[in-house]
Each structure stands twice: as structure tokens, then as C-alpha cells.
Amino acid sequence: MTSSSDNNGCSSGWFTESSVLWPGQKSSLALEGLRPSSVLYSSQSEFQSILVFKSAQHGKVLCLDGVIQFTERDEYCYAEMMSNLPIMSHDNPYSADRPPSLLGLAQPSKITTQITVLIIGGGDGGVLREICRHSHIFKITLVEIDPTVITVTKKYFSHLDKGRPSVFDDPRLEIVHLDAADFLAEGEHLEEFDVIINDSSDPCGPSERLYSPAFFEEMYKSLKPNGIVCSQCESMWLNLDFACSMLSANASIFDNVQYANIMVPTYPSGSIGIICGRKADSNGNVGCCDRPGWRLGEEVSEELRYYSGKTHRSCFVLPKHIQRRMDKAVRGEEGGEGGYSYDDDDDEEEEEEEDYDDYNDGKGEGGVCVIS
């Protein structure tokens, strides 16, 4: 369905975001040629408004409920990091029927179980595309409440698969059209997934339930031992109070919690946050997510434009005042920035650590699992 610019955020040749999450500012993109005819699709599904338009500088754009979900120009920034941070942090990247030879890796010290991934939301296909690059992924379940998002994505953004078969046709994929809170309710998927990626839209409308402590608890229960949950968590520049409240809630449930920041130019303030929560393994050991646990094969590494070992580590390095607030949130402390002693010597110690800059670039000798 194609419509005029009425009531879809487009006026006088410009699209302007509308959201209660960042009061006092709005982001705008020019339509191609400043023409209302550049609106390719505008409709109201059962759950949300959906808009696709052709922009002047950023290619085609997908918006849900008046908020930009991605543009062709920079969608890979979010998709690559949101998917590869948890996948590359997981300590078990190999499976018996998908040996390391398929990954371009050296023989690991042991072969471990097959990796299962749950994607919550993600109907735009970006995170799914990046997950599908990894041949060691055994099964992918995508729970998207709104089937119209997938239909629109297939019609207007299929070229992002770069001539390959649609990621929505991957034989490892199962698509479930259901509210993810209902999907995980009452422990129906206990310890089923190695990685859960909560790629939901902003915490309002149909996604509001997916930011509640009760839902975090359900995700934790659905993880296998040593599993990882990666959740979208708004911008640390615009929504620091919200991000800290989410960190506090997650820290009361998960065995380790960390916050990462990704640069995405067309998102509000140019960045988006991710919370990574880990579950202890069967021996009670708790891993972290702030460095890759293994090395990408060269073939996959060559295809990526944002993610690398460098960007993996660097996205967990936050401005000092934000790190202080978040450290307090993780510890369950209330209040502002005061009362926290920050030792600059910690920075010097970090700089003296082993250099991992080229750890994930697919070059050099074969990959071994590195745990530090």
C-alpha cells in the first residue's frame, strides 16, 4: 500500500521522527528529491505503523511508529554488532556436524554442542542476515509479533542479501509470529538457547513488555548454561537513566552484565546501547562479553564492514562519567555520579594488556579459543 505523506511523519519533502523517548529533539531525513512520491509504503498493521521511503542521502529507510529502524546506508553498523557481540563472545563456537574446516579455523581443543539462537523481533532481517553467516549456528528461532514487517522487508530490502537466497529461507530458521513475552512465558523453553538477541524496537507500543524485569527473568531461564542475552538498550547520551535502570534490573538476574555502545549515524545522538547478560556455566564459571572468544574465518571477516576484534573490545569502553553511573547501577546503588572513587591507574593497566587489535581480522594463524 502506498499513500501520500499525510500522518506518516513526512512533510514538505522531509521525514521527521516522532518519539517520547527523546523529548526536546527530533531527527529528520530528506526524501529523495524532496518529493512525497518517494514514500514507497505507508500503512498501519495490526500492531504498528510501517513506513518505507527513499531518502536523499541514505537510501531506502524503514520506520516503525514514526521511528527510524534502519537506513540502507548504515544498517550494517547495528546488525553486525548486535549479532556478533554475543556470537563471538560465546565460548563454544564449534559443533560436531559443522567442523572447524567449514569455518576456516584451526582444530579447537574440543568439539562442543551445536549453537541455537533466538532472535526476538528482528523482522527487518538485519540481525538474522548476520547470524546466518555463521555455519556453526545449528538452529535459529525468530519471534516477530508483526508478520507485515517481514513482508515489507522482503519486498523493499531483499537486495541487502546481495544476490544470495533470502535469509528468511535459511533452512535453519523457524519463524514464530507471537509476542515474545508469551513465547517465553511459563518456562516453555527452559535452557533451550545458547544465545538470545533481543532485537526489539523501542520500549513503547508492542515492545514495552520486552523491557520488564519479568521478561529478563524468562530470557535467563531460557538460556543454556554459559548462554548470553544481548538486548537493545537505547542511547547512553539521551536515555542514561533508562539504561542504568535496565542494567540494574539485568544485574539482579544475570551472573554478569556489561553495556556496549555502537555508533549508528542515523539513530538519535548517533549511537545505540546494548546490554550483554551472561549465565554461568554448569561449573559456576562466569564469562564476559567484552572481547571475542575465538577468531573469525577469513571468508566471513571479508564480508563484514563494521565488526572486528577492535570494534568488539572498543564498544565496551565508555566515557568515565557514564561508566561510573553504570557501575553503580550494576551494584544496585542509587543516586548520581557522586561518591564513587575512580582510579585513573586502571586505564594504564588496560593499555598494558595484550594487544587484541588484529585478533579477529581473519589473518594470521588459525583460531583457538582464548579465555582470559
Cβ atoms of 236 and 271 within 8 Å: the answer is yes
Sign of CA dihedral 22, 23, 24, 25: positive
What type of residue is 161?
D
| 371 in a structural domain | no
| Maximum alpha-carbon separation in the chain | 61
Nearest to 243 by CA among 203, 208, 291, 201: 203
Same domain, 164 and 197: yes
Same domain, 241 and 307: yes
Domain limits for position 25: 10-71
Task: Out of 71, 92, 120, pick the residue that ends a domain.
Answer: 71
Catalytic: 241? no
| 51 in a structural domain | yes
This prediction's pTM: 0.83
Same domain, 26 and 139: no
The total of structural domains in the chain comes to 2
Q: Which of 124, 194, 199, 202 is catalytic?
A: 199
Q: What pLDDT, on a 0 to 100 scale, did the predictor assign at position 205?
A: 59
| 355 in a structural domain | no
Q: Tell me the CATH number at 42.
A: 2.30.140.10
> Could you tell me how many residues make up the chain?
372
Measured at the CA of 130, the angle between CA 126 and CA 132, to 5 degrees, comes to 115
Q: What pLDDT, on a 0 to 100 scale, did the predictor assign at position 23?
A: 73
Same domain, 189 and 242: yes
| 291 in a structural domain | yes
Same domain, 35 and 109: no
The separation between the first and the last C-alpha atoms of the chain, rounded to the nearest angstrom, is 53
Same domain, 94 and 190: yes
Same domain, 258 and 292: yes
Same domain, 60 and 149: no
| 110 in a structural domain | yes
| 358 in a structural domain | no
| 231 in a structural domain | yes
Same domain, 107 and 159: yes
Same domain, 262 and 280: yes
The Cα–Cα gap between 85 and 188 comes to: 26
Q: What pLDDT, on a 0 to 100 scale, did the predictor assign at position 113?
A: 54
Q: Tell me the CATH number at 228.
A: 3.40.50.150
What type of residue is 292?
P
Helix (H) or strand (E) holding 120: strand 115-121
The Cα–Cα gap between 350 and 355 comes to: 10
Q: What pLDDT, on a 0 to 100 scale, did the predictor assign at position 331?
A: 92
Same domain, 81 and 54: no
Same domain, 122 and 248: yes
What type of residue is 123?
G
Looking up cell 523457524 gives 174
Low-confidence ranges of the chain (pLDDT < 70): 1-8, 92-113, 161-163, 201-208, 334-372
Task: Out of 51, 71, 91, pick the residue that ends a domain.
Answer: 71
Task: Out of 42, 71, 100, pick the residue that ends a domain.
Answer: 71
Looking up cell 539462537 gives 117
| 243 in a structural domain | yes
